[in-house]
């Protein structure tokens, strides 16, 4: 509020200038010329007492610093005024104090209404009343947290198909809005950068996570899953605290319809991060699992294979898992592979577990260029990190998948199905995907699964029967109950609309106000019953 309105005042009257010091001299002043906004409300402001009467307490050289005849005259005049006021008695003094107070109040009210008019009427999506403490420097801008909503600004928006769009948001800083591209803005951005990076780094390291986005008119919020940053932009995006979401507009949907109407520059409110299922701990790979939080030291051997069935926007958690297993997709910068740096930061395994994603879409436009990478190469296409192109939000998500494939050809696979081309996920698709993750016996990453004898049936990480009652919101607080270090399970993960999950893994169940995993049914349940997918080695996770 006042930062903008007082700027002209401070610019005209720097604190050390004689003009500024004139302000503290006893006397009557017209304040209207300081700011046009207060002009209509004030005629004059009397300043009669100051903390240190300048005539007696300012030492030579302090303040005005000039003992000119003119100053002496003014001083005498001022002393005379003070004497006169003293003789008026206490009632006169208190009434003048009151009038001074009311005038100051008037000014404050005028400034405040000007601000309200500016922020609410003129720029409704810009600044709001809640931003005042930040603008005044009383508090720093709030950062993403799981208990309260904080404002973000949409900085990019891309329509990737007729119903789906990607928005990129970054933390809203009211000071940035007011200061434009000034030095102060840059300084502030740098100050916040490391804090934001640390917060998000933890969530990315966990793997699966989401944030809530609020619909402010209806005061409802829904979960959305941040996509990994575009190829080669991980560092920059993390430092700016940016988040990207793939959102499908649902007809009649309260939050997705609202979000579909927002444009670049608009504000959204986010709350989070909310950590989801701990994939690394279930896979049990020693290099993925953090020993201090697992309840035991973590297994010595590499473990875990992942088959991920993603329906539509369910691709977002699939990419989060891929990022957890393979690290950020990197670019070469100054001759140094950025991936190496991230490996150090994130403790990535040298040889990551095998993963296959099958992405089901209604239309081809949702997954253009979803071809085998070799076929794409023959057509002259190279993923962004190999042809040094920057992959912005534009181009959707295929470049991300292609880049992981290019860097981990043995470990990672992806395939797409398109409803309108009469290609659907079925039992055979799932079995093929399971086979594609079979480790090469010669490979050092050969998988060893957790055997029946070492699995505690009540362990929420390694026992399918215990998983039935698990909710994703509580998962990260649980502890492994297996007696000996777990080598890990393989995961068949299913993510997408409720109908998609129910078809392939059975419906989730609700109890005590929480959505829980429920029994495994659907196509995956059938395959396990028939023994085509070994239920001792594979666990099903519904997202
Ligand atoms: C952990 C998690 C992560 C998620 N991540 C993403 C993501 O990254 N991207 C994404 O797009 N979605 C994601 N979702 C789904 C998202 O949270 C919302 O559920 C989705 O956007 C729909 O919300 P909505 O408010 O628009 O629709 P809602 O208002 O909840 O309505 C949903 C559907 O039900 C219909 N409906 C509503 N009320 C009625 C009624 N009374 N009678 C009949 N039909 C009705 C609506 O028409 C609509 O089609 C995620 C969900 C979870 C749990």
158-173: per-residue pLDDT in tens? 998 889 999 999 988 7
CB–CB of 263/449 below 8 Å?
Answer: no
pLDDT of residue 307: 97
The number of angstroms, rounded, from the C-alpha of 435 to the middle of its chain's C-alpha atoms is: 36
Q: What residue spans define the domains of the chain?
A: 2-122, 285-450+489-542
Which of 297-301, 327-331, 511-515 comes out lowest in average pLDDT?
297-301
pLDDT of residue 8: 34
- The residue contributing the CA closest to ligand 1 atom 27 is 253
Mutate to test the pocket of ligand 1, among 219, 256, 316 (most ligand atoms within 8 A of CB): 256
CB–CB of 88/94 below 8 Å?
Answer: no
Sign of CA dihedral 497, 422, 355, 530: positive
- What the block records as the tokens of 298 is 């973590």
Residue keyed to tokens 């997954």: 367
Q: Share the mean pLDDT of the chain.
A: 73
Distance CA 439, CA 441 (A): 6
DSSP string for residues in 343-374: HHHHT--SSPPEEEEEEEESSGGGSTT-S-HH
pLDDT of residue 10: 31
pLDDT of residue 193: 56
Give the model confidence (pLDDT) of 33-88 as tens digits.
333 333 333 333 333 333 333 333 333 333 333 444 444 444 455 445 444 444 44
Would you say the ipTM is above 0.90?
A: yes
Instruction: Calculate how far, in angstroms, residue 256's C-alpha sits from the geometric centre of ligand 1.
Output: 7
**Which one-letter DSSP state was computed for residue 34?**
G
pLDDT of residue 200: 82
First CA to last CA distance, the chain: 44
266 band by pLDDT with thresholds 50, 70 and 90 = very high
- What the block records as the tokens of 313 is 């926007």
- What the block records as the tokens of 246 is 């793939």
Residues in contact with 372: Cβ distance below 8 Å, sequence separation at least 6, in sequence order: none
- The residue contributing the CA closest to ligand 1 atom 2 is 223
- The residue contributing the CA closest to ligand 1 atom 42 is 252
CB–CB of 318/415 below 8 Å?
Answer: no
Taking 60 as the threshold, does the pLDDT of residue 511 lie above it? yes
Instruction: Calculate how far, in angstroms, residue 510's C-alpha sits from the geometric centre of ligand 1.
Output: 17
DSSP string for residues in 293-329: HHSS---SS---EEEEEEEGGGHHHHHHHHHHHH---
Taking 70 as the threshold, does the pLDDT of residue 449 lie above it? no
């Amino acid at each position: 509020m006042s930062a903008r309105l007082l700027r002209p005042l401070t610019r005209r009257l720097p604190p050390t200038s004689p003009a500024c010091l004139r302000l503290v001299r006893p006397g009557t002043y017209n304040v209207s010329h300081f700011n046009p906004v207060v002009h209509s409300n004030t005629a004059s402001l009397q300043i009669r007492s100051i903390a240190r009467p300048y005539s007696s307490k300012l030492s030579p050289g302090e303040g005005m610093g000039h003992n000119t005849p003119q100053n002496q005259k003014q001083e005498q005049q001022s002393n005379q005024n003070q004497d006169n006021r003293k003789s008026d008695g206490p009632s006169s003094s208190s009434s003048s104090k009151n009038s001074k107070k009311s005038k100051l109040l008037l000014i404050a009210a005028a400034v405040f209404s000007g601000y309200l008019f500016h922020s609410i009427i003129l720029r409704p999506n810009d600044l709001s009343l809640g931003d005042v403490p930040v603008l005044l420097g009383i508090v720093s801008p709030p950062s993403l947290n799981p208990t309260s909503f904080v404002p973000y600004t949409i900085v990019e928006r891309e329509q990737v198909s007729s119903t789906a769009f990607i928005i990129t948001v970054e933390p809203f800083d009211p000071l940035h809005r007011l200061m434009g591209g000034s030095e102060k803005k840059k300084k502030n951005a740098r100050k916040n950068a490391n804090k934001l990076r640390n917060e998000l780094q933890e969530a990315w390291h966990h793997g699966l996570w989401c944030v809530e986005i609020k619909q402010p008119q209806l005061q409802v919020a829904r979960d959305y899953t941040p996509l990994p940053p575009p190829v080669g932009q991980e560092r920059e995006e993390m430092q700016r605290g940016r988040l990207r979401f793939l959102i499908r507009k649902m007809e009649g949907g309260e939050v997705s319809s609202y979000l579909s109407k927002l444009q670049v520059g608009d504000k959204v409110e986010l709350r989070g991060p909310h950590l989801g299922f701990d994939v690394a701990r279930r896979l049990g790979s020693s290099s993925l699992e953090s020993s201090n939080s697992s309840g035991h030291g973590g297994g010595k051997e590499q473990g875990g294979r992942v088959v991920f069935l993603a329906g539509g926007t369910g691709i977002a958690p699939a990419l989060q898992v891929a990022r957890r297993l393979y690290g950020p997709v990197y670019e070469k910068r100054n001759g140094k592979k950025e991936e190496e740096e991230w490996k150090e930061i994130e403790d990535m395994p040298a040889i990551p577990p095998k993963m296959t994603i099958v992405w089901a879409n209604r239309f081809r436009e949702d997954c253009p260029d979803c071809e085998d990478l070799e076929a794409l190469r023959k057509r002259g296409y190279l993923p962004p990190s190999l042809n040094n192109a920057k992959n912005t939000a534009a181009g959707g998500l295929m470049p991300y998948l292609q880049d992981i494939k290019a860097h981990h050809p043995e470990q990672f696979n992806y395939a797409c199905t398109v409803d309108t081309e009469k290609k659907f996920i079925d039992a055979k698709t799932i079995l093929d995907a399971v086979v594609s993750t079979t480790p090469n016996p010669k490979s050092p990453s050969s998988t060893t699964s957790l055997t029946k004898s070492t699995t505690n049936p009540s362990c929420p990480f390694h026992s399918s029967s215990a998983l039935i009652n698990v909710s994703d919101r509580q998962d990260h607080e649980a502890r492994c109950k297996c007696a000996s270090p777990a080598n890990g399970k393989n995961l068949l993960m299913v993510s997408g609309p409720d109908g998609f999950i129910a078809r392939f893994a059975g419906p989730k169940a609700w109890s005590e106000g929480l959505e829980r995993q429920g029994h495994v049914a659907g196509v995956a349940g059938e395959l396990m019953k028939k023994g085509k997918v070994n239920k001792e080695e594979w666990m099903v996770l519904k997202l």
